[in-house]
Amino acid sequence: MLTKLQSLVAAHDVAINKRFNSLLVEMRIAQETNSRLQKYQQGKTLDLIDALRVNILNYYHA
């Protein structure tokens, strides 16, 4: 799902305002292992990116 989110952002289908700096930081440090988000990275919980991933779960990208 992280790859799907990355492709949506790269295609400008999802835009994130710069005031959501915490989310942007989480997107930079997020890692997936066996298609699962590693929810604790570098002393941070990745709750914001996890919520964004759940929100795009049923979004179809052509």
Q: What residue spans define the domains of the chain?
A: 2-55
pLDDT at 41 exceeding the cut of 80:
no
What is the per-residue pLDDT for 23?
92
Query: Within 13 A of 22's CA, how many CA atoms are on the CB side?
Result: 9
Give me the chain's average pLDDT, please. 85
User: What is the mean predicted confidence (pLDDT) over 20-32?
Assistant: 89
Q: Taking the complete model, does pTM exceed 0.85, yes or no? A: no
How far is residue 26's CA from residue 41's CA, in Å, rounded to a whole number? 9
Residue 2 to residues 34, 49, Cα–Cα distance (Å): 11, 9
pLDDT band at 21 (very low <50, low <70, confident <90, very high): very high
pLDDT at 45 exceeding the cut of 70:
yes
Contact 6, 56 (CB under 8 A): no
